[in-house]
Every structure is written in structure tokens, then in C-alpha cells.
Amino acid sequence: MKYLFETIEIVKTKIETDHKIGNQSGRSGHMSYVSYILHDLKIHTAKNENKQITYWYTIYVETEFTYEPDNPPYKYNYCKMFTLTENKDIIENPYSNIENTVSQKWIETKKQITEMIKNALDKVEWGYGNNRTPIKFPPRFIELTQTTSDQYLCLIESGLNENKLPIIIESNTIEGLYSNVLDALKKKYSI
């Protein structure tokens, strides 16, 4: 699993390099803050050990004029792909057909898991205080595909302690991931 965390860090660094993350000032002198959420990651390992990385994320731009709900942050959704070599070099794939890389069953399962976690968090929030929960929302999903087998993962980060490693729940089938996540949450958080 070490390569998984390394890959996530490489993707985060790539996003932070591609977009100017943090505080910014425009030509007019107005301030803004740019942040992002990494939603999904697909890692396909080819026979030559290179990894094709597809990732989905959202960039949020908050300005000094941002206020909810009337003037929410600007939101930009991205789906990008690159190849990661054994030496950790990035080869850009700007013209790859990204839309065909995700199955409808995987999309539906991620929605079901996210909704299940959301409902569980609504029930346990009162035990942790206002807007505090034991885990961060939304969860992250990773699809690992290889020539011989596939693996589906759900990463749930701790909401109470930043230093804890995320809980990694995995399954060899898309269908099995939902029940594995449910079992893990029941066991860990009694939900």
C-alpha cells in the first residue's frame, strides 16, 4: 500500500502545481483563496509496470465577495490523466479518452457508499459536537486495475486527528465494497 500513498501525494502535488492553490491577489487587488478536493483516483498498472493514473477533482475559488448561499464559491470540476513510470516520471496524456474509463456500476456504488456515510454522519454528529464527526466527508475512492485482477478501495480519513492514517476498505468486486464499508463503519464507530 506504500505505492498507493505515494501515488496520492504525486497526484496532489500535480494538482497544486497545475493550479495556484492558496491565497491569491488579482490585478484589481481583490483577494481570493483557491482550494481543491480530490474525489476519485483510478490506477491502472500495465504489463510494463507503468501506471496510468486518472483522477477527478474539484477546484474551489472563494473571493472576498463569497457568501453562502447567495454567492457561493466558484467551482470547477476536472478529470485528468497521466502515466507514471517506474522512476516516478510523469508523462502527460492530454488527448486520452477519459470518459470511457469508469463503469456505470462503479459510479453508482460510489454514490451509494457516499450517501450511506452521509446518513451515518448525520446520526453521530451530536456525539462529537457541532459540525464535528469522527471521519472526514466525502470519502475518497480508488480503483486499481491490473491485467490479472481489479481492486476497489474506499479511503476514509479521520476527522478528529490529522495524524492518523486513513482507514482503507477494499474489495475485489465493486458490489463487495459497499458491504465492506458498512461492516467497517459498524465495527469502528458502532453505526
| Domain layout of the chain by residue ranges | 1-99, 103-191
User: How many Å separate Cα 9 from the centre of its chain?
Assistant: 12
Q: Is the pTM of this model over 0.75?
A: no
**Architecture (CATH level 2) of domain 103-191:** 2-Layer Sandwich (3.30)
Q: Which residues contact 71 (CB under 8 A, 6 or more apart)?
A: 65
- According to DSSP, residue 188 is labeled H
Confidence (pLDDT) at 127: 57
User: Per-residue pLDDT tens for 30-59?
Assistant: 888 999 988 888 888 876 778 888 888 889
Report whether 174 contacts 42 (CB < 8 A): no
CA distance 170 to 151: 7
Residue 101 predicted with pLDDT over 60: no
- Residue reference for cell 476519485: 40
Residue 2 predicted with pLDDT over 70: no
Tell me what the mean pLDDT of segment 84-92 comes to: 83
Residue 72 predicted with pLDDT over 70: yes
Confidence (pLDDT) at 132: 62
Confidence (pLDDT) at 86: 80
The dihedral through the CA atoms of 101, 107, 109, 110 has a sign that is positive
CA distance 127 to 9: 32
Higher pLDDT, 188 or 101: 188
Higher pLDDT, 26 or 168: 168
Backbone angles phi, psi at 164, to 5 degrees: -75, 145
Residue 158 predicted with pLDDT over 70: yes
User: Per-residue pLDDT tens for 133-142?
Assistant: 677 778 888 8
Confidence (pLDDT) at 40: 84
Report whether 114 contacts 136 (CB < 8 A): no
Of 3-12, 143-152, 170-179, give the lowest mean pLDDT range. 143-152
Q: Over pLDDT 90: what percentage of the chain?
A: 9
Confidence (pLDDT) at 87: 81
